[in-house]
């Protein structure tokens, strides 16, 4: 470091007339380690300028260059970071804060000490040194007060100082007087020693000459001591005099302290009294309102509400410890309790009277709603009662017993009122439903026996239009003779027509509207009542996420259902939410049974009504769950939806059972089976009902069950059929099923549609091959023998040399089948096919065309064998392909 210091002095500071006093090796804190030097310098000329200079090594070489300089007077703060622990970091506050890290703590301390000395010596402005050890600063204080600042710079600041120009001149003069000083140093030293002895002697003589002056000084000191003794005596007397004054002042101070303490206590007492008066004083107007306020008028209710709130604030004031022991406080609290009890009793009595009066007023409006399918509006009653909502909240917070009593009374009165209204409402709905069909009205007037006969007659002739239900008995359907088979089949077709008649559609549409009206009336009734209960009784509703209500908790797999009456939200539901639900259950306890009875009636009238009910109920459950999944309405409709779904599944099961029970006549052709036509009706009706429905999945499952049942039972009936060939039954019915599915475009039955088409095609081909058989029987046997010989290894061109299959034998066989005989055989075949097929499906021409193709295929096969096995023989069939086409065309036209 010394070598660097001398180098910097020589290269940088001496050319600028500056002297380097201290140096420290530093780098910037927190950045990449790039070392530089901070130097403390002073100028050699007067006035002295003190600077802090930043020097760093040049990037192009090993020399140093001056980078930045700050005047010491610009330095505001020196922060050493830690005055106790060794820390090489320090900050210098110039125009901004410069953070440095020294190479060692010792260099940092030396540099800071030098800065402190220069500040003490040259600057009037004092720099703040923070986090600097006091010991470091004390060591830097000069020992002599009258030290010559100008001459002692070098000793204080640094051990090494260069000679200035004057010092160099004096030394040169002295050495000129002793020319031998350089050549003979010992002689020069002896001379200097002798001169020093001379100076010491002169100093001693001077001291001895000043002895007289010393004696005079000692005399003056003795006189001064005497004066001091006199002053001390006077001070002692003054102290004795002041002692009594001190005692009096102490008494006055103690008295002032007591006065101050008394004032403080009085202020505290006044503050406590003001607190009690301000917070436990109830205005006379409030007291009068609580005792005599009118609870019937809006103004009186508002006054009572304000008074009740003020009373509650007075009773709930937070008293300080000890306040409750004051007699006045106890007396006021007892007064408040009496007021609260009196007003609570008066409020509960008034509200009970309001509940009773509501029951009487609402009962008078039931008559006008008994004819219309509407429920009475409770909004005016709710509006009047909501004026008491704040008072109910006050009663809940102050007297929960009376609050519970009012809640119970409200549920009792309103449950009876709603029960009357809802039962009357459902009676009107049932009357409208049972009067919706003419048949229902006739049944009501017929004796029981006549009704049973009529029911059986309708089941035979198809007026009910259903596979299931109380008026459907297709399982009893049986055709007894071939003579009446066609009329019975026509009757079955009429069944499909009648079931989709305008009358039947109108009845079902009317039922759908009535059921929708019932649900639409119940939904706002329940929601408005639940909202009123929440607001009036101050019960906060806690909504849970959609999808957690009972409707979504159902498990529907394989036609089985399970439901939980406790569903509707998490088990940790709040007590207030639970209380709302319990109140709604108590008030509307008749809704679920009445809905179930209505559903049972609709299902009894027409089992297909379960489709309408499933769609409507699903939609309302979905809507209720979106509003509040845990509400009473959502839970109740979810439970009823389970019943509707069961009825729907029962309807599907009954249809499948009736498919299995269908019997056919053994003496007449089958045609389109009744349950196939009924499936078409069911699918068309279901598609119109379930369009845009939320529970499409239920219908898709029913479709799959029904179509599998139809497929199975079509095959069953086909196998049992004796009059109609099995292939005809399968072909006609699967063609009808394929046409139905193609028309309705039911996405979940795409696979079944393809299967029906495949079955229809397969059985069409099977029937054609079976019916057509071998129209040229002998020719068939002949060529079968030819193919057998070829299969045994005989070459095709050598077959004609076989005795049994020579050309002469072939000509004989061909002559047995002239064109006239072929046409006669085809005409008989057409009549046979016509007897097998039914008119409804109109497949005769399709089958006849397929037979034509098959006949031509056999003809071409025979022609090919003749050409290969009897080449050049000139043998041909006695009729051509054109003749075959003419035969088939003329036969079809003639019939």
Q: Give the other-Cβ count within 10 Å of 419's Cβ.
A: 16
Token output for 535: 């607001």
- Confirm if 755 and 710 have CB atoms less than 8 A apart: no
Written as one string, the DSSP assignment of 21-54 is EEEEEEEETTS----EEEEEEEESSSSP-EEEEE
Q: Tell me the pLDDT tens digit for each residue of 505-540.
A: 777 888 888 888 888 888 888 888 888 988 888 877
Predicted local distance difference test score (pLDDT) of residue 364: 52
DSSP class per residue in 627-654: H-TTSHHHHHHHHHHHHHHHHHHHHHHH
pLDDT tens digits, 832-889: 888 788 877 778 788 888 888 888 888 888 889 888 888 888 888 888 889 888 888 8
256-265, 457-466, 789-798: which is most confident = 256-265
Which residues are CB-contacts of 787 (< 8 A; sequence separation ≥ 6)?
865
Contact 578, 589 (CB under 8 A): no
Mean pLDDT of the chain: 78
Mean pLDDT for the stretch of residues 698-707: 87
Own/partner long-range contacts of 401-406 (Cβ < 8 Å, ≥24 apart): 402/344, 402/345, 402/347, 402/348, 403/537, 405/348, 406/348, 406/351, 406/352
Question: In terms of pLDDT, which residue wins out, 402 or 151?
Answer: 402
Q: Per-residue pLDDT for 39 more than 90?
A: yes
Average pLDDT score over residue span 393-412 = 90
pLDDT above 80 (res 564): no
Query: Please, is 715 exposed, middle or buried when counting C-beta atoms within 10 Å of its C-beta (0-12, 13-18, 19+)?
Result: middle
What's residue 38's pLDDT?
93
Res. 408 pLDDT band, cuts 50 70 90: very high
Percent of the chain with pLDDT over 70: 82
pLDDT tens across 468-492, in order? 333 333 333 333 333 333 333 333 3
CB atoms near residue 291 (< 10 Å): 12
Pairwise pLDDT comparison (104 vs 493), residue with the higher score: 104
**Higher local confidence (pLDDT), 502 or 394:** 394
pLDDT band at 435 (very low <50, low <70, confident <90, very high): confident
pLDDT of residue 434 exceeding 80, the answer is yes
pLDDT of 204: 78
Closest CA to 379 of 518, 532, 586, 522: 532
- pLDDT at residue 23 is higher than 90: yes
Residue 67 phi/psi, 5-degree rounding, is: -105, -55
User: What is the pLDDT, as a whole number, of residue 179?
Assistant: 63
Q: What is the pTM of this model?
A: 0.53
The reported pLDDT for the residue numbered 161 is: 60
How much is the average pLDDT of 85-101? 90
Residue 137 pLDDT exceeds 70: yes
Cα–Cα distance, 398 to 396 (Å, whole number)? 6
Closest CA to 351 of 390, 325, 377: 390
Provide, rounded to the nearest whole percent, the portion of the chain with pLDDT above 90.
8
Tokens representing 134? 């006091």
Q: Are strands 77-79 and 128-130 parallel, antiparallel or unpaired?
A: parallel
Tokens 């049994």 label which residue? 804
Position 180 scores a pLDDT of 59
Across the range 61-89, mean pLDDT stands at: 87
| Cβ pair 689, 611 in contact under 8 A | yes
Least-confidence region, from 129-133, 456-460, 824-828:
456-460
Which pLDDT does position 754 carry in this prediction? 92
Residue 178 has pLDDT above 80, yes or no: no
Strand partners, 79: 91, 130
Rounded Cα distance, 21 and 112, in Å: 12
Which has the higher per-residue pLDDT, 90 or 721?
90
Helix (H) / strand (E) element for 391: namely: helix 389-398
**Which DSSP state fits 557?**
B
Report d(CA 820, CA 506) in Å as an integer.
59
């Amino acid at each position: 470091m010394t070598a660097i210091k001398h180098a910097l002095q020589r290269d940088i500071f001496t050319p600028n007339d500056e002297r380097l006093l201290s140096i420290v090796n530093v780098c910037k804190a927190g950045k990449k380690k790039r070392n530089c030097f901070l130097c403390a310098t002073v100028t050699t000329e007067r006035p002295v300028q003190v600077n802090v200079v930043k020097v760093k090594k040049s990037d192009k070489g090993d020399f140093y260059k001056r980078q930045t300089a700050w005047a010491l007077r610009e330095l505001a703060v020196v922060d050493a970071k830690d005055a106790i622990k060794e820390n090489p970091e320090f900050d210098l506050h110039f125009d901004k804060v410069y953070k440095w890290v020294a190479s060692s703590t010792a260099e940092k301390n030396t540099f800071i000490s030098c800065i402190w000395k220069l500040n003490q010596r040259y600057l009037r402005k004092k720099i703040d040194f923070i986090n600097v050890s006091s010991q470091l600063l004390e060591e830097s204080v000069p020992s002599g007060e009258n030290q010559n600042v100008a001459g002692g710079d070098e000793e204080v600041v640094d051990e090494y100082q260069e000679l200035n120009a004057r010092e160099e001149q004096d030394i040169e003069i002295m050495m000129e007087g002793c020319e031998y000083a350089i050549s003979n140093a010992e002689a020069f030293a002896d001379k200097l020693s002798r001169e020093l002895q001379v100076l010491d002697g002169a100093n001693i003589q001077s001291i001895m000459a000043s002895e007289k002056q010393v004696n005079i000084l000692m005399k003056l000191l003795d006189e001064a001591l005497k004066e001091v003794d006199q002053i001390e005596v006077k001070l002692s007397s003054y102290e004795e005099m002041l002692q009594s004054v001190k005692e009096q002042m102490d008494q006055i101070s103690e008295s002032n302290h007591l006065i101050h303490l008394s004032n403080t206590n009085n202020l505290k007492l006044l503050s406590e009294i003001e607190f009690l008066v301000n917070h436990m004083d109830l205005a006379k107007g409030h007291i009068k309102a609580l005792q005599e306020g009118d609870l019937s008028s809006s103004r009186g209710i508002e006054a009572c509400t304000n008074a009740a709130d003020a009373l509650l604030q007075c009773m709930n004031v937070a008293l300080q410890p000890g306040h409750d022991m004051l007699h006045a406080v106890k007396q006021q609290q007892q007064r408040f309790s009496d007021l609260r009890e009196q007003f609570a009793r008066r409020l509960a009595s008034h509200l009970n009277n309001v509940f009773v009066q509501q029951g009487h007023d609402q009962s008078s409006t039931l008559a006008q709603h008994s004819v219309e399918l509407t429920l009475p509006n409770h909004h005016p009653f709710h509006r009047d009662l909501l004026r008491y909502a704040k008072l109910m909240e006050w009663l809940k917070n102050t007297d929960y017993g009376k609050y519970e009593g009012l809640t119970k009374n409200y549920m009792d009165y309103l449950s009876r009122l709603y029960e009357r209204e809802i039962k009357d409402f459902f009676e009107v709905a049932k009357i409208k439903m049972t009067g919706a069909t003419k048949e229902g009205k006739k049944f009501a007037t017929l004796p029981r026996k006549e009704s049973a006969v009529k029911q059986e007659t309708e089941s035979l002739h198809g007026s009910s239009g259903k596979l299931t239900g109380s008026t459907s008995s297709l399982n009893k359907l049986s055709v007894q003779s071939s003579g009446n088979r066609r009329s019975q089949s026509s009757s079955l077709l009429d069944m499909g027509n009648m079931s989709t008649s305008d009358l039947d559609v109108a009845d079902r549409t009317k039922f759908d509207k009535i059921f929708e009206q019932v649900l639409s009336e119940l939904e706002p009734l329940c929601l408005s009542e639940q909202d009123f209960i929440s607001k009036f009784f101050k019960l906060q509703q806690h909504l849970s996420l959609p999808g957690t209500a009972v409707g979504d908790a159902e498990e529907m797999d394989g036609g089985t259902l399970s439901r939980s009456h406790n569903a509707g939200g998490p088990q940790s539901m709040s007590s207030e939410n639970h209380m709302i639900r319990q109140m709604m259950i108590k008030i509307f306890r008749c809704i679920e049974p009445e809905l179930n009875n209505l559903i049972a009636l609709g299902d009894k009238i027409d089992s297909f009504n379960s489709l309408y009910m499933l769609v409507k109920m699903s939609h309302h459950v979905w809507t209720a769950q979106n509003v509040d999944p845990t509400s009473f309405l959502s839970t109740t409709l979810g439970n009823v939806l389970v019943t509707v779904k069961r009825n729907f599944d029962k309807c599907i099961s009954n249809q499948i059972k009736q498919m299995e029970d269908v019997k056919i006549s053994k003496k007449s052709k089958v045609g389109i089976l009744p349950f196939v036509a009924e499936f078409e009706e069911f699918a068309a009706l279901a598609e119109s009902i379930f369009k845009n429905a939320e529970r499409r999945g239920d219908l898709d499952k029913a479709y799959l069950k029904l179509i599998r049942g139809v497929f199975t039972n079509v095959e069953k009936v086909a196998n049992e059929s004796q009059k109609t060939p099995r292939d005809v039954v399968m072909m006609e019915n699967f063609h009808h099923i394929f046409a139905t599915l193609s028309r309705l475009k039911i996405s979940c039955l795409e696979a079944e549609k393809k299967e029906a088409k495949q079955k229809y095609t397969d059985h069409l081909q099977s029937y054609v091959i079976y019916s057509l058989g071998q129209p040229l029987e002998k020719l068939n046997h002949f060529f079968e023998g030819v193919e057998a010989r070829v299969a045994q290894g005989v070459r095709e061109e050598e077959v004609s040399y076989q005795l049994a299959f020579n050309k002469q034998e072939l000509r004989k066989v061909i002559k047995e089948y002239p064109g006239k005989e072929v046409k006669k055989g085809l005409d008989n075949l057409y009549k046979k096919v016509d007897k097998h097929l039914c008119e409804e499906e109109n497949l005769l021409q399709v089958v006849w065309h397929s037979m034509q193709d098959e006949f031509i295929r056999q003809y071409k096969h025979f022609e090919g064998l003749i050409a290969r096995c009897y080449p050049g023989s000139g043998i041909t069939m006695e009729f051509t392909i054109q003749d075959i086409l003419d035969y088939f065309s003329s036969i079809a036209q003639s019939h």
